[in-house]
Structure 1
Amino acid sequence: MLDISGDALLLALFIYCFAFLGFVLSIAGRRWSNRDPQAHTLRWSRLSFILTIVGLASHLTYFITRWIGGGHIPNSNMYEFMTLLSMLITVAFVIIYLIYKPAVLGIFSLPISVIIIAYASVFPQEVQPLIPALNSYWLKIHVTTAALGEAFFAVGFASGLMYLLRATDFESRTKQARKAQRGIELILLTVIVVIAFIGGVFGFKAGGYHAEFSQQSTVKNKETGAEEVSKQTVRYILPPIVKPYNSEIVSFQPYLGIKAPLLEAPSWMNGVNAGRKLNTVIWSLILGALTYALLRLIARKPLGKAIHRLLDGINPEDLDEISYRANAIGYPIFTLGALIFAMIWAHYAWSRFWGWDPKEVWALITWLFYTAYLHLRLSKGWQGSKSSWLAVIGFIIVMFTLVGVNLVIAGLHSYAGV
């Protein structure tokens, strides 16, 4: 079953990629069509939507077979949760597509699913036994509904970003226009950094790169209160620019003529994985900057301006409406999953409804942000660019809650980063 699940997920990834290319042809190809451009768009978008459904069926096959093979619903660690989130983003896209039929939305929504699957593959893929706190049916309800709400936020993000790319005047040199242009470019750079990080991990993994360090650290015994010295092994997949604090090299493969780490993590970063995480951030920024520079060189213009030209003929008001509807659907689902059901599960697992754990705090921040988004949209008339910027920023907060809190900030939810 687990072998079948892995193959089904890989198949879904490839089908999503082909569906994405079909949506691109449905929009960009109408310029080259000698016949009716509208008929060309309709034909290709229908084909791409069918491919999306096939990919979703394969993705669902992965989910079911991993559930059967693993003995529990696959949403208990980062690999399983991210693959679940990717599937639900596709579900959210399918629902929005059936309502509005926006072919252009597939160009931005499906890549999010693909990127999240690729990101999930960075984490260990073995089925792990559930810790007691996770062994509850409330886990299934809480995590699944929270992920579904976040999936609709992802579609709202995609539509909001498309609105900004379509409505921003990239020829204008006014202060407001230049500010919007820089903001869009920063968002695109952030996406490229994530993609470059994933590509870098897979590239060095495929090349068989590895390095190991032995780190000595002082830990406090919880029972006696005495300080004890322990040694732990830290393994790197990306070449070590930064080694862990107070560590020694166990094994090291030279790269680019470099035969030793260039830097040591600062003393306050003495966690066993702190140096490796800092090294990952540095590599992500380097690879992202190089990838962005290469794309800028090919496009010979800011990437936002290059994409803007591809969206000619798209009604920005439709994109604004789709972004709002997606977020409006996701908000009550997220409220139930990330707050109400989460509190019930917390009481079941830890005998309290709320404990100011970092993940709980950031879930509340996310909920408050989207509450403000809906209030400003409905009561203050924030539509168009203002609403779209909020949709984009909101999803960035969502991703930090999912990734940053799990992997960087220690707390009761740290098991999710295993």
Structure 2
Amino acid sequence: MTTNETLAQYSDWAFRSAFTVLVLALVLLIVQYASTRAQAVQDRELVSAGSGARPAEAPSAPGRVVEQPKKPMSERFGGMGAAVLVVGTVLIFASIVLRGFATERFPLGNMYEFVTMACAAALVVGLALLSKPAYRSMWVFLLVPVLILMFLAATVLYADAAPVVPALRSYWLPIHVTIVSVGSGVFLVSGIASLLFLLRMRYPRGEEGTGVFARIAERLPDAQTLDRLAYKTTIIGFPLFGAGVILGAIWAEAAWGRFWGWDPKETVSFIAWVIYAAYLHARATSGWRDTKAAWINVAGFVAMLFNLFIINMVVSGLHSYAGLN
């Protein structure tokens, strides 16, 4: 099995282009986020001055061109940011597909490729669930961890396009690793939603605040919306991740002769799955639905990050095939 260096180079270029485009999207959405507050302040000043209602416009004379009101700056920048997000998502998927063709295998054989797939999944889930203009403010907080992960993938975790080690030359690779990486991307959206929910609960809408966090929170959707989003995404990610753990155990029996051996990767994956199960149970239990359940979801998010970086990069085990050792 050989590597097509030209396609591998195109894959790297697509990844770098996706990173650049997503940075541009982040800038546009930050401008949208900031201008939303400026527009809200202006509207409050007009209301306090008694000018909240617009005067009735005189009927237009025949042949007179009536100018259409311009869209607010926040809406214009938000629309541009959303369009650029789609371009960035297409480019990151292009980098995944090109690497697969370059190596003539499924492109999930190392940490670089795994993190790329997880970021792509998070972007797709975000585009599906945060498409409404009212949710665009959340993209600022979702894009930051996605860009950090992409930066780490392109620097610390990067591995040249090459055939995988013999242990990964199995039909289980595209099944097990794809499900786990997509589930990780979904949990990224869920974790960010819970963190923003906790921030919104700390600074409810309408509460006057002068601190940085208070100013950030007042632009977010209401707490109930954020809580529903965290729950909805966990409902999607939980069975995916659970199926990935089960399929991994089946693959382990075929590769190593046992279903479960309490390998560090297996152990922390199981712990993360149990934490998310506890979140779903707490979310349905009276007295735990608000901040207590959200903190459990955040704990699951932390366990996922620990499993992704510390276990793969520091702890040695049977899953130490990430291209870093």
Conserved? CA contact 1:406–1:417, under 8 Å: no
Number of aligned residues: 284
Paired position in structure 2 for 1:336: 243
Q: Which amino acid aligns with 1:56?
A: T
Paired position in structure 1 for 2:200: 166
Deviations 1:155-175 (A, max 9, x none): 0111111122222159xxxxx
Q: Which amino acid aligns with 1:336?
A: A
Paired position in structure 2 for 1:268: none
Match of 1:346 among 252, 259, 267: 252
1:323 partnered with 2:230: yes
Stretches of structure 2 lacking an aligned partner (at least 5 in a row): 1-6, 44-68, 205-209
Q: Secondary structure at the match of 1:414?
A: coil
**TM-score w.r.t. structure 2 length?**
0.81
For 1:355 and 1:168, the matched residues in 2 are separated by 43
1:396 partnered with 2:302: yes
After superposing on structure 2, the runs of 4+ consecutive aligned residues of structure 1 that deviate more than 6 Å are 34-38
1:332: how far off?
0.9
Match of 1:21 among 27, 32, 43: 27
Deviations 1:146-202 (A, max 9, x none): 1111111110111111122222159xxxxxxxxxxxxxxxxxxxxxxxxxxxxxxxx
Conserved? CA contact 1:88–1:148, under 8 Å: yes
Deviations 1:60-110 (A, max 9, x none): 110011110112122111112112211111112112214795112101111
Q: Pairwise CA RMSD of aligned residues?
A: 2.3
Match of 1:156 among 186, 190, 202: 190
1:313: how far off?
4.5
Conserved? CA contact 1:317–1:384, under 8 Å: no
**TM-score w.r.t. structure 1 length?**
0.64
Deviations 1:255-281 (A, max 9, x none): xxxxxxxxxxxxxxxxxxxxxxxxxxx
Conserved? CA contact 1:407–1:417, under 8 Å: no
Q: Decide whether aligned partners of structure 1 residues 137 and 380 sit closer, same or farther in structure 2, where only a CA change above 3 A counts.
A: farther
Greater share of residues in strand: 1
Paired position in structure 1 for 2:15: 9
Paired position in structure 2 for 1:81: 114
Match of 2:313 among 398, 403, 407: 407
For 1:310 and 1:407, the matched residues in 2 are separated by 34
Paired position in structure 2 for 1:201: none
Match of 1:379 among 277, 281, 285: 285
Stretches of structure 1 lacking an aligned partner (at least 5 in a row): 171-300
1:123: how far off?
2.6
For 1:128 and 1:101, the matched residues in 2 are separated by 43
Q: Which amino acid aligns with 2:32?
A: S
Identity of paired residues, percent? 32
Q: Which amino acid aligns with 1:43?
A: R
Conserved? CA contact 1:320–1:383, under 8 Å: no
For 1:81 and 1:6, the matched residues in 2 are separated by 15
Match of 1:363 among 269, 275, 280: 269
Paired position in structure 2 for 1:203: none
